[in-house]
Structure 1
Amino acid sequence: MDFLSAFSWINIRFLLDGLLVTLQVAVVSIILSFIIGGILGTLRFMKIPVLSTIVMIIVDIIRNLPLLLIIFFTYFALPQIGIQLSIFWSAVVAMTIFESAMLSEIIRAGLVAVPKGQMEAGRSTGLSYLSTLYYIIFPQSIKLMLPPIVSQFISLIRDTSLAVVISLPELTHHAKIIYAQDPAAVLPMFFAMAFSYFIICYSLSVFSKRLERRWAV
């Protein structure tokens, strides 16, 4: 098999099926982790007695664990306590847990970066703490959060390839099947994977920069 013949329609369609699963896992995980990470990051910023400390401990523990370990936990350990998840949802839950912890720190840091005088100014106008947080602090902090948040989302897309260890039928898994059947297809499949991840991640990066410039105006 030469380089080009590895890209037969059958192989391309098989790779696209895997890419679709990669995107599905990434999109669902991004949405869930953004919501959960936003809540956790806000709770840490608010410094609620006991609760904020508990959140901080949990987040710090998760942030210092390898994602691969969390994937193994959701797929192999959770069934031992009666929580049975499909391969797809095991990957989504693992990604969400890990990325929520990462995003919570980014969001907390973004909120902290807003000058304290902004909160005081909002409260002096009669707004409640939560209203000031929503209408004044968040709009200013999102500009600071956007670059690292997008960077984290890009990492998440790349990290979906780790779910190959639990046989998630994503891009890397399908490419592996193709070159396992024909070792001559190893280089073409690595090229296909690299090209696919690059296009997705680069597109997201360009979109982020345009959005950042628009908000900066």
Structure 2
Amino acid sequence: MDFIGAYQPDHLAFLFEGFAVTLKVAFISIILSFIIGLVVGTLRFAQIPLLSKVLAVVVETIRNLPLLLIIFFTYFALPEIGIKLSITASAIAALTVFESAMLSEIIRSGLKSIDKGQIEAARSSGLTYIQTLKMIIMPQALRRMVPPIVSQFISLLKDTSLAVVIALPELLHHAQILNGQSQSYLLPIFLLAAMMYFVVNFSLSILARRLEYRQA
């Protein structure tokens, strides 16, 4: 174990460069998947004839596929039908698709948790369905959904490491490159990589628990 050699300034800079890519991919995927998940989850909750059933089939199909398979599909299969994405774009697309399905189910369940009596009361007072959803149901549901949504974001951040299979230059990919320079770097490098993941994910876990406590 060569901690001194492994933690040379250029090695540390290389690791943090990879971690920056990890955070960038995770951040973009979180924003996109939340927007898509919110729309899909809301449409499913609205039970629009045919559309809700089609979305349900799509969501359940994606949720039951391995994320690794979706990553392979976006990078290797899409070019076969004329859609060629960069490594980073492929990783973001795969994560967004997978997490959107997960978040849509969280959002749909959150909306369903609100007492139907509130919907009936709002409608009887003259509010339209859209107004009821926007002003009465969604604000309450989002507060309840915050903890599981944050937990899903934690999973997304960890799942970025799966993109190493398509050579995304993220943290784990850079750690493997450094480890290839010397076997004595294995423990120091991967220990530091683990700490980077832990610090971010543990911070998000604390946030999720505090938010959950406030909702109790």
TM-score range, shorter chain: over 0.9
Match of 1:155 in 2: 155
Mapped to 2, the partners of 1:91 and 1:16 lie a distance apart of 19
Count how many residue pairs are aligned between Structure 1 and Structure 2: 216
Q: Distance in 2 between matches of 1:7 and 1:202?
A: 23
Compute the displacement of 1:211 (Å). Answer: 4.3
Query: How far did residue 122 of structure 1 move?
Result: 1.1
Aligned to 2:108: 108
Query: Which stretch shifts more, 68-77 or 139-148?
Result: 139-148
Please say which of residues 1-10 and 99-108 is displaced more in the overlay.
1-10
The aligned counterpart of 1:10 is 10
Q: What is the letter of the counterpart of residue 203 of structure 2?
A: S
What SS does the aligned partner of 2:110 have?
helix
Give the Cα–Cα distance (whole angstroms) in 2 for the partners of residues 196 and 122 of structure 1: 47
The one-letter amino acid paired with 2:19 is L
Instruction: Tell me which residue corresponds to 1:23.
Output: 23
Partner of 1:192: 192
Q: How does 1:109-124 map to 2 (within 5 A)?
A: 109-124=109-124
Q: Could you list the runs of 5+ residues in structure 1 that have no partner in the other structure?
A: none
Partner of 2:170: 170
Deviations 1:44-66 (A, max 9, x none): 10000000000000000000000
| Mapping 1:35-46, distance limit 5 Å | 35-46=35-46
CA drift of 1:212 comes to 4.7
Instruction: Specify the SS of the correspondent of 2:169.
Output: coil
Partner residue in 2 for 1:93: 93
Matched residue of 2:5: which SS? helix
Deviation at 1:35, TM superposition (A): 0.2
TM-score w.r.t. length of structure 1: 0.96
Q: Is 1:38–1:103's contact at 8 Å kept on the other side of the alignment?
A: yes
Tell me, in whole angstroms, the C-alpha distance in 1 between the residues paired with 2:213 and 2:152.
19
What letter is aligned with 1:28? I
Deviation, 1:125, is: 1.4
> In 2, are the aligned partners of 1:29 and 1:92 still within 8 Å (CA)?
yes
Any unmatched runs of 5+ in structure 2? none
| Identity of matched residues, % | 60
Name which of structure 1's ranges 135-144 and 96-105 shifts more when overlaid on structure 2: 135-144
Opposite residue 86 of structure 2, the aligned amino acid is S
Task: Say whether the 8 Å CA contact 1:143–1:212 is kept in structure 2.
Answer: no
Q: Letter of the aligned partner of 1:75 in structure 2?
A: Y
- Tell whether the 8 Å contact from 2:151 to 2:208 is kept in structure 1 after alignment: no
Cα deviation for residue 206 of structure 1 reads 2.4
TM-score (norm 2): 0.96
